[in-house]
Amino acid sequence: MYDPKSLKAEEFIEHEEILDTLAYAEKNKHNAELIDSILEKARLRKGLSHRDAAVLLDCDIEEKNNEIYALAEQIKKDFYGNRIVLFAPLYLSNYCVNGCLYCPYHHTNKHIARKKLTQEEVKREVIALQDMGHKRLAIEAGEDPVNNPIEYILECIDTIYSIKHKNGAIRRVNVNIAATTVENYRKLKDAGIGTYILFQETYHKESYERLHPTGPKHNYAYHTEAMDRAMEGGIDDVGLGVLFGLELYRYEFAGLLMHAEHLEAVHGVGPHTISVPRIRHADDIDPDAFDNGIDDDTFAKLVACIRIAVPYTGMIVSTRESQKCRERVLHLGISQISGGSRTSVGGYVQPEPEEEKSEQFDVIDSRTLDQVVNWLMRMDYIPSFCTACYREGRTGDRFMSLCKSGQIQNCCHPNALMTLKEYLIDYASEDTRQVGLKLIEREIDNVKSDKVKEILRANLINIENGKRDFRF
């Protein structure tokens, strides 16, 4: 019955296959010989099957776990270097007709402030985000065909791309909205979106249906098959994720990797990104009401094992996590983080009064973008505001083949330095600017090609002289 090529949710995320995988992992968690052979396979950097990866996740031999962490770190370095791409979420509307038990936007929450940005308000939010230095947004909206129809989302995307304020511009809009039709995905593609992101929340069908008691999201198959429709609609960069804490993390881990294998098998390209949110406190949501919360050690192990299993897939961690936790997982595989985020509708222009709160979850890492950029550079990471790939038509399988051959590095590294330089000149505090300029000088020497180095140096001078938006 399990068939990664099937287009039916219950066949490519097959419950029995997951249970067998978990039993196999449990049985082999002390099997040093098998774990060695899986690590050997993983060192080829071609990824791992969900079965092999599940054994690594369960492995409880300390020495082997240290090898797992070391390998994750090495793969992270090989594929992503020391760059971390930055983005911010932009909440457009928290009207929602669904009844998700873990989200305060569920329609039975009658006391949360309901808000929907007008185009004028979108413009003000985007200017506030541009003034922080952001170039890449993920737009978020609840599911509500009356308040947030696709036309509204498309209008917002147009508005966002149209705003040029001082040297600011949003160059990539990723979209996180409810599962929809092929026709609507096509419209999003035509609007020039980057990645379409949709979290599965949980791959466990029974739990999924219990956690989504009402509304269109109750339909497990329609939700789980959304990425296939998105790809049919021409969107070839899609982002997966689950909400850790709802179900057993081992189950979700296997489900996530099976979903990635399915996309690869059917569409020839795996997920562009995987997000790893953990359930958090928010308005009427108490995370302790969910039994499957995971501690920081388990979270780190999950990140490391995902990194090893899908080396070409970007990994995202948001401000749901503390500075300390983010610091730990950056080493192990995270390639994108949000910074300076507000999770309320309209929160970038002004903080909300207590009686009008509209946040989706409590932000744990509440530092400003400048503080996040400074912190990254002091740990020797290069904060990157790069958005080059989809603007250069490097998406889907074209992007993946550049990733797999390692050639993408020739673009990512100089692009990171050029976009960082823009940030330092236009938005950074004096201290951040000084730290950043020194970092750029050091990093120029790490560009391998002399020709690229020469163009990079010229562009960095052009940026000093007021020109913007260079990219490889």
**Single residue of 93, 98, 195, 313 touching ligand SF4 by CB under 6 A:** 98
DSSP 3-state assignment of 173?
A: strand
**Is 382 an interacting residue with respect to ligand SF4 (CB under 6 A)?**
no
Stretch that binds ligand SF4, among 17-25, 123-131, 302-310, 382-390 (CB under 6 A): 382-390
Binding mask 217-256 for ligand SF4 (x = CB under 6 A): x---------------------------------------
Amino acid residing at 306: I
DSSP 3-state assignment of 141?
A: strand
Cα 362 to Cα 37, 253, 279, 406: the distances in Å are 42, 25, 10, 38
In the complex, least distance from residue 258 CB atom to ligand SF4, rounded to whole angstroms:
22
**Single residue of 105, 348, 375, 470 touching ligand SF4 by CB under 6 A:** 105
In the complex, least distance from residue 283 CB atom to ligand SF4, rounded to whole angstroms:
11
In the complex, least distance from residue 176 CB atom to ligand SF4, rounded to whole angstroms:
9
The sign one gets for the Cα dihedral 423, 425, 429, 434 is positive
Task: Write out the two tokens for 463.
Answer: 């940026």
Closest CA to 92 of 11, 162, 151: 151
Going by DSSP bridges, is the β-strand pair 83-93/136-141 parallel, antiparallel, or unpaired?
Answer: parallel
CA angle 108, 279, 317 (to 5 degrees): 125
Amino acid residing at 269: V
In the complex, least distance from residue 389 CB atom to ligand SF4, rounded to whole angstroms:
3
Of residues 282-321, which lie at the interface with ligand SF4 (CB under 6 A)? none
**Single residue of 64, 106, 229, 331 touching ligand SF4 by CB under 6 A:** 106
Identify which of residues 300 and 389 has a Cβ nearer to ligand SF4 in the complex: 389
**Is 198 an interacting residue with respect to ligand SF4 (CB under 6 A)?**
no
Identify which of residues 160 and 408 has a Cβ nearer to ligand SF4 in the complex: 408
Q: In degrees to the nearest 10, what's the CA dihedral of 48, 50, 56, 58?
A: 180
Identify which of residues 309 and 402 has a Cβ nearer to ligand SF4 in the complex: 402
Give the whole-angstrom CA distance, residue 370 versus residue 431.
10
Task: Write out the two tokens for 250.
Answer: 């081992």
In the complex, least distance from residue 410 CB atom to ligand SF4, rounded to whole angstroms:
9
Stretch that binds ligand SF4, among 18-26, 250-258, 326-334, 405-413 (CB under 6 A): 405-413
**Single residue of 85, 256, 257, 428 touching ligand SF4 by CB under 6 A:** 85
Identify which of residues 21 and 419 has a Cβ nearer to ligand SF4 in the complex: 419
Cα 326 to Cα 28, 79, 200: the distances in Å are 30, 19, 22
Task: Write out the two tokens for 260.
Answer: 């990635």
**Is 408 an interacting residue with respect to ligand SF4 (CB under 6 A)?**
yes
Give the whole-angstrom CA distance, residue 145 versus residue 153.
11
**Is 384 an interacting residue with respect to ligand SF4 (CB under 6 A)?**
yes
Left, alpha or beta for 82 (phi > 0: left; psi -120 to 50: alpha)? alpha
Identify which of residues 79 and 185 has a Cβ nearer to ligand SF4 in the complex: 79
Burial 204-237, CB ≥16 within 10 A → b, else e: bbebbeebbeebebbebebbbbbbbbbbbbebbb
Left, alpha or beta for 137 (phi > 0: left; psi -120 to 50: alpha)? beta
Of residues 3-22, which lie at the interface with ligand SF4 (CB under 6 A)? none
**Single residue of 25, 84, 103, 226 touching ligand SF4 by CB under 6 A:** 103
DSSP 3-state assignment of 9?
A: helix
Place of tokens 């696709």: 150
**Single residue of 415, 423, 460, 470 touching ligand SF4 by CB under 6 A:** 415
Binding mask 139-178 for ligand SF4 (x = CB under 6 A): ---xx----------------------------------x
In the complex, least distance from residue 36 CB atom to ligand SF4, rounded to whole angstroms:
32
**Chain residues in the site for ligand SF4 (CB under 6 A):** 85, 96, 98, 100, 103, 105-106, 142-143, 178, 217, 384, 386-389, 408, 411-412, 415
